[in-house]
């Protein structure tokens, strides 16, 4: 009987061919939870990262509808922030290093970022529609 040779592995098991850059980021998401530093309770993500600024923070339900957010958006509970800047992939790398980050991906021209234990302030012109200050 001939000894069986192991099949040559052509790709690392964690790396899959992505159909688009967006898909690639979505598939990486579960790995963020493994490596993110925990956030202190009530952590407020910075309004600026290297090369980008916050464009949307916590939203009112009305504002979330106006900006086209999903009905169960993490922006409603203050756990999500969007960043925009000239180099989205570089900004994404910054966002992925925030403490407590659970999701970060490029979506509709910005970096959507969610974290555990975050307390994102209300921010964004249309997303805060109806807010009583
Ligand atoms: Zn978002």
CATH of the domain at 84: 3.30.1380.10
State the average pLDDT over residues 28-55: 82
Instruction: Give tens-digit pLDDT for 10-39.
Output: 555 555 554 555 544 554 555 565 557 889
Residue 3 lies in a domain: no
Domain hosting 72: range is: 25-115
User: Ligand 1 mean position to 103 CA, how many Å?
Assistant: 10
Instruction: Give tens-digit pLDDT for 71-130.
Output: 999 999 999 999 999 999 999 999 999 999 999 999 999 999 999 999 999 999 899 999
User: Ligand 1 mean position to 88 CA, how many Å?
Assistant: 14
Residue 129 lies in a domain: no
The model carries a pTM of 0.75
Number of domains in the chain: 1
Q: Residue 34: its pLDDT value, please? A: 56
User: Three-state secondary structure along the chain?
Assistant: CCCCCCCCCCCCCCCCCCCCHHHHHHHHHHHHHHHCCCCCCCECCCCEECCEEEEECECCHHHHHHCCCCCCCCCCCCCEEEEECCCHHHHHHHHCCCCCEEEEEEECCEEEEEECCECCCECCCCCCCCCCC
User: Ligand 1 mean position to 74 CA, how many Å?
Assistant: 8
């Amino acid at each position: 009987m001939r000894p069986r040779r192991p099949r040559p592995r052509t790709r690392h098991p964690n790396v899959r061919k992505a159909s688009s850059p967006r898909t690639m980021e979505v598939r990486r998401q579960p790995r963020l939870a493994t490596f993110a530093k925990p956030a202190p309770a009530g952590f407020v993500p910075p309004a600026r990262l290297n090369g980008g600024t916050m464009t949307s923070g916590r939203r009112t339900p009305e504002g979330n509808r106006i900006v086209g957010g999903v009905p169960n958006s993490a922006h409603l509970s203050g756990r999500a922030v969007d960043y925009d800047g000239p180099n989205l992939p570089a900004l994404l790398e910054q966002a992925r290093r925030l403490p407590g980050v659970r999701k970060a991906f490029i979506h509709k021209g910005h970096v959507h970022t969610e974290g555990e234990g975050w307390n994102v302030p209300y921010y964004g012109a249309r997303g805060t529609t109806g807010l009583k200050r």
